């Protein structure tokens, strides 16, 4: 199987560590973010990435995105690496 390396930019790592939800305890939020990371890496490591879209306008014009757990994940493929450039949370523009 063809596997890719997933590289999380430092800005995205920092943003994920700061994610909070008023509806969940800190432990539930950490579990949610952990699951998000696992699902994101599983999807992006695949040689065939489905349900992608390339932004046509705005700040992320020309960058590919995929939606995972209602979060928009913007990434670029560089050789055998998938570099995650940004993650937008639900309701964030």
Q: How confident is the model at residue 53 (pLDDT cuts 50, 70, 90)?
A: confident
Calpha distance 42→8 (Å, rounded): 14
- The mean pLDDT value of the chain amounts to 89
Q: Is the pLDDT of residue 72 over 80?
A: yes
Is 13 inside a domain boundary? yes
Question: Which two tokens mark 24?
Answer: 């969940």
* Residue 13 pLDDT: 94
Is 93 inside a domain boundary? no
Question: Which two tokens mark 35?
Answer: 């699951």
Domain that holds residue 13: 5-88
* Residue 21 pLDDT: 81
CA 2 to chain centre: 20
pLDDT digits (tens, 9 = 90+) for 8-35: 999 999 999 988 888 889 999 999 999 9
Question: Which DSSP helix (H) or strand (E) runs through 79?
Answer: none
Structurally, how many domains does the chain consist of? 1
In terms of DSSP bridges, do strands 5-8 and 81-88 run parallel, antiparallel, or are they unpaired?
A: parallel
Is 33 inside a domain boundary? yes
Which CATH number covers residue 30? 3.30.2310.20
């Amino acid at each position: 199987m063809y596997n890719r390396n997933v590289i999380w930019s430092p800005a995205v790592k920092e943003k994920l560590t700061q994610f909070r939800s008023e509806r969940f305890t800190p432990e539930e939020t950490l579990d949610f973010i952990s699951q998000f990371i696992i699902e994101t890496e599983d999807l992006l490591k695949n040689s065939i990435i489905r349900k992608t879209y390339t932004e046509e306008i705005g700040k992320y014009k020309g960058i590919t995105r995929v939606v995972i757990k209602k979060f928009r994940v913007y990434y670029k493929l560089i050789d055998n690496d998938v570099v995650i450039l940004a993650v937008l949370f639900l309701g964030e523009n």
